[in-house]
Amino acid sequence: MNREYVSSTNIASIGYDEPTQTLEVEFTNGSVYQYYNVGVGLYEQFKEAPSKGQFLNAYIRTAYPYSRVG
């Protein structure tokens, strides 16, 4: 999955696969997580959020199934 770099102290890059509604997040420590069933609208809001880490914690991390993939 292609990811784009973002301005964040915790998150290095984010990517999204619309057909599978999978959000991929690479953290600055090198770990990579995929979050499943994330709608494209939420992904767009995440991309535009002033604080990516706060947005992830508030709206995604505890609300969607995920797995560590890297």
Which H, E and C letters describe 19-41, residue by residue? CCCEEEEEECCCCEEEEECCCHH
Give domain status of residue 2, yes or no: yes
Give domain status of residue 44, yes or no: yes
Give domain status of residue 61, yes or no: yes
Yes or no: say if 51 and 5 are a contact pair by the CB < 8 Å rule.
no
Q: What would the pLDDT profile of 1-25 be if each residue is shown by its tens digit?
A: 899 999 999 999 999 999 999 999 9
Give domain status of residue 62, yes or no: yes
- The rounded distance, in Å, linking the Cα atoms of 12 and 47 is 12
Q: What would the pLDDT profile of 21-66 be if each residue is shown by its tens digit?
A: 999 999 999 999 999 999 999 999 999 999 999 999 999 999 999 9
Q: How many domains does the chain have?
A: 1
Q: Which helix (H) or strand (E) holds 54?
A: helix 52-55
Please give the pLDDT value at position 1: 87
Give domain status of residue 47, yes or no: yes
